[in-house]
Structure formats: structure tokens, C-alpha cells
Amino acid sequence: MRLFEGKKGLVLGVANERSIAWAIAKEALEQGAEIGFSHLPDRPDDEKRKNRRRVAKCTDNYESAKFLVPLDVRSDQQIGEVMSRAAEEFGQIDFLLHSIAFADREDLLRDTIDTSREGFKMAMEISAYSFIAVAQAAKNILSDRSSILTMTYFGGERAVPGYNVMGICKAALDSIVKYLAYDLGPKGTRVNAISAGPLKTLAGSAAGVGEMLKLYEGMAPLSRNVTHEEVGRSGTFLLSDMSDGITGEILHVDAGYNVMGSPGRWLDQFQSQQ
């Protein structure tokens, strides 16, 4: 029997085939899950509907991908409409993946001290508060043994130059994970997060991931970067019944980078070049 046989869920925030959310969703689909998806709304003047098309390119290959709808998490009405669609399709859902974050590029490029007030509010609303809003809206359709997962990053735990305002948003998100785990615990719902190492994604490109790949490869105990597939398997573990005793946790899938207190072997390589 496949791991997600009979399981139904929602995946919010796939952007394209390189998204971490898609790596997790793809693994769950192949393990038997039925999933409803959201995509970033297209602009009214975008006749090609690029956002929808990018996600549909992934989901159209799976009969168990049951629907694909637009979602702007700044709108409680749209969040409610997505949950209503999930209720119509599935009745209840067994898992929910939230993979949504955004900050104005100008604010990402600025030093954190120069973050604009409006940019901060927007980044925090979309990247952190949306997790609360989505969980609250889903509360009544979550099964009694359900799992909610979000995506964070080490820049919320330590200062990562260049991550800037998004690091503050991830710190808030990390805390939200713990508080939602407490709030939803009596219902049997678990709430966790994955903190992945740098991967080449649409969001990662905006945050300067390319510059981080060599650093992680040099410093991580495994002396390499992680893959989309590794993060996908870890995400499906946390969404599945296999992790039914785990809640309020941040699982680092980063080849061990987060445990290092020094540059490790990267420093040895640097010194040998001097």
C-alpha cells in the first residue's frame, strides 16, 4: 500500500516544476494522494495566464491532481473560496502544504535597516500571517489526524546577509509553527516546517541562492547540497502518518549545514590556497 493511499490534501504555492512545494506534492501524488492546488493569480491583462500555465504544466500529468485555482492570500475571501472548493471535492483533507512567501525585490536588495514600512507589512502579511489565515480557514475541514506543513529557511534563525527582511518573516513563521501546533494539537492536527538548504527555485533566485550553493557545499557535513527529491521525501514524511508523533518542529534538510559552528572543511580548503 502506498504511503498516501486514500489521503486528500491541499498544496498552496507551487510556482513551477522547480518549486520545493512541487517536489513534495509530486512525491505525495506518486504515493497515492489526491490533491487540490492553488496558483498565484494572473494579471487581468495576461492573456496567456502564465502563472496558471506554469503550475498546470506540472499538475496536468496527474489524474489525482483534482483542481487548480487562483489564490491571493491577502484576501480572506479567496482563501475561503479555496477551502470551499476543497470541501466540495474532498469533504475533509488530511494534509495542507503552505509554501508562500514574497517581499518586494527592492526591499530584498536593501540592507535590513533600510526596509520600507509598506514593504515590511506586505512581506510579513504574505510570508507569515498567511499561514495563520490559511490554517484558520482550513480548521473545519481538517481530518482528526491531519498534518500542516510550511516552508522556512535558516535565515530566520541566524543572520544571513542578503536574506534581509525575508529572514525576519521566516523568524515569525517559525514561531507561528509552534503556536499553531499548540492551538491545533487537541484536534490531532500536527504543524511543522521544513528548512531546506539552497535550491534553484524561482523564489531562491530572488534571494541570491546561487551565491549560497558553493558555501553550503564547502561547509555542510555531507560536503554537498541537497536535492529537490530529498526535500520532497522529507516533506511527504512530515505530511504522512509516519510522523504522527511530531509537531511544532523545524526539520532541517540542508546536508547538516545548520549544525556547524565553524566553516569546517571549507576553511581547510581556503587555508591550503594561501
On whether the CB atoms of residues 95 and 147 are closer than 8 A, the answer is yes
**DSSP code at position 42:** P
Active-site residue set: 153, 163
d(Cα 243, Cα 240) in Å, to the nearest integer? 6
Burial 185-223 (b: 16+ CB within 10 A, else e): eeeebbbbbbbbbbbebebbeebbbeebbeebbbbbeee
Which residues lie below 8 Å from residue 109, measured CB to CB, with a gap of 6+? Answer: none
The Cβ of residue 176 has, within 10 Å, a number of other Cβ atoms equal to 20
Task: Work out the burial of residue 5: count CB atoms within 10 Å of its CB; fewer than 13 is exposed, 13-18 middle, 19 or more buried.
Answer: exposed
